[in-house]
Structure 1
Amino acid sequence: MQNLYCPKCGQNLNGNTNLKFCPKCGAKIQTNISGNNKKQDDIDKLMNSDFIQMIKRDYFSYTGRLNRKIYFIRSLVLVVIECILFVLIDELDTRSDDFSLILMLLSFILLCLCIVADFMLDMRRFHDLDKSGYFALLSLIPAITPFLYLYLFLMLGTKGANQYGNDPLENTY
């Protein structure tokens, strides 16, 4: 019996091949009739794992609000990863073998993903300040960037619900 998972939310469907839609999120379920595609099943399980879902939810979502503490911690994690990738790319830049080029390309792709995650975090922090996420584009202007991040790190978010969602501090214990 093969375990099936929802491609959108990762819900375990307990091998029920008769389902056409996920009972949790309503996403369309495509069943593998042949059952021979183990590699694709492994990829689906990985993409629907709790860790991948957590990364998508915490770093690659532009909806909702993000308070100062969580914003600072997640930004710090991304800065550390970006610094490691910059050092790796700089070190690999002097080499010319194929493995180094592939590793440098993968590092560059990861760096781009980190930059996208930075923008997503910035957008959610602006939402907590009851401002549009488009203000995150101001970080592309070098003269404004330091002041922008000081603003994001120091300003208190909107008390209570705003147009972007509930206060993230109300959900903490």
Structure 2
Amino acid sequence: MNWYISVLKNYVGFSGRARRQEFWMFALISGIISTILNVIQIMMGMEIMWLSFIYSLAILLPNIAVTVRRLHDTDRSGFWALLMLLPVIGWIILFVFTCQNGTSGTNRFGNDPKYSVNK
């Protein structure tokens, strides 16, 4: 849960790097929260899924920021995140990029977060 909260606290932090663990833990917890909200909405008989919509809007900026930082860790520009706009092919390419190891040591976007002294 600390990974999720740290991403929310750094919701406009587009500089720096994010480890795979930070990115995927945020994605996992967001998915779990979305699923719980969907189940609640179905149980309440809501035709329009307002809770899910509001939650999606609330985490939109943190999601983009952590994706950009994850791309920075693989030594790619944050503009690669625009692949989200390409259905299927863009999503697959972005998935592969976010699954790759980050560059060891310092790259043009900062120090390696895996071995950061700020842990």
TM-score of the two chains, using structure 1 as the length reference: 0.54
| Structure 1 ranges of 4+ moved more than 6 A | none
Q: Answer 1 or 2: which has greater helix percent.
A: 2
Stretches of structure 2 lacking an aligned partner (at least 5 in a row): none
Provide the secondary structure at the position in 1 that maps to 2:92: helix
Question: What is residue 22 of structure 1 aligned with on the other side?
Answer: none
> Are the aligned partners of 1:159 and 1:167 in contact in 2 as well (CA < 8 Å)?
yes
Cα offset for 1:60?
4.1
User: How far does the alpha carbon of each residue in 1:37-78 deviate from its partner, in whole angstroms, 9 at most, with x for none?
Assistant: xxxxxxxxxxxxxxxx84322x44212101112211111112
Would the alpha carbon gap of residues 169 and 78 (structure 1) be closer, same or farther in structure 2, given more than 3 Å must change? same
Q: Which amino acid aligns with 2:9?
A: K
Higher RCO structure, 1 or 2 (CA under 8 Å, sep 6+): 2
> Are the aligned partners of 2:74 and 2:97 in contact in 1 as well (CA < 8 Å)?
no
Distance 1:130 1:170 in 2: 16
Superposition pairs of residues 1-173 of structure 1, within 5 angstroms: 54=6, 55-57=8-10, 59-88=11-40, 91-93=45-47, 104=50, 107-144=52-89, 145-153=91-99, 155-171=100-116
Provide the secondary structure at the position in 1 that maps to 2:59: helix
Q: CA RMSD in A?
A: 2.6
Distance 1:117 1:89 in 2: 24
Distance 2:24 2:52 in 1: 24
Stretches of structure 1 lacking an aligned partner (at least 5 in a row): 1-52, 95-102
Cα offset for 1:150?
2.8
Distance 2:27 2:12 in 1: 13
> Are the aligned partners of 2:17 and 2:70 in contact in 1 as well (CA < 8 Å)?
yes
Aligned residue pairs total: 110
Cα offset for 1:81?
2.1
Would the alpha carbon gap of residues 136 and 117 (structure 1) be closer, same or farther in structure 2, given more than 3 Å must change? same
Would the alpha carbon gap of residues 146 and 79 (structure 1) be closer, same or farther in structure 2, given more than 3 Å must change? farther
State the identity as a percent.
Answer: 33
Distance 2:64 2:84 in 1: 9
Distance 1:81 1:149 in 2: 21
Cα offset for 1:128?
0.4
